Amino acid sequence: MTDYLDFESEWTSDAITVYDELPLWSAMAGLLLFEHLPLRPEMRALDVGFGTGFPLFELAQRLGPTSSVVGLDPWAAPQARVLLKQRMWAVGNARVVRGDAARMPFGDAQFDLVVSNLGLNNFDDAPAAVGECARVQVHGGTIAITTNLVGHMDEFYEVFATTLCEMGLNDELASLQRHIDHRATVVGVRALFETAGLRVARVEERPCRCGLLTAVLSCAST
As beta bridge partners, residue 185 has none
Q: Tens of pLDDT along 204-213?
A: 887 765 555 5
Whether the CB-CB separation of 82 and 96 falls below 8 Å is answered with yes
H or E element at residue 112: strand 111-117
Task: With a cut of 90, say whether residue 216 has pLDDT above it.
Answer: no
Angle (CA) 15-6-184 rounded to 5° is: 75
CB count within 10 Å of CB 116 equals: 25
pTM for the model: 0.83
Q: Where are the alpha helices (DSSP H) in the chain?
A: 13-19, 24-35, 56-63, 79-89, 126-136, 154-166, 170-181, 186-195
Q: Tens of pLDDT along 141-162?
A: 999 999 887 766 666 777 787 8
CB count within 10 Å of CB 45 equals: 26
In angstroms, the CA 157 to CA 20 distance is: 24
Whether the CB-CB separation of 121 and 192 falls below 8 Å is answered with no
Looking at 15-24, 38-47, 142-151, 158-167, which range is the least confident one?
Answer: 15-24
Q: What percent of the chain has pLDDT over 70?
A: 80
Q: Tens of pLDDT along 44-101?
A: 999 999 988 999 999 999 999 999 999 999 988 888 889 988 998 899 999 999 999 9
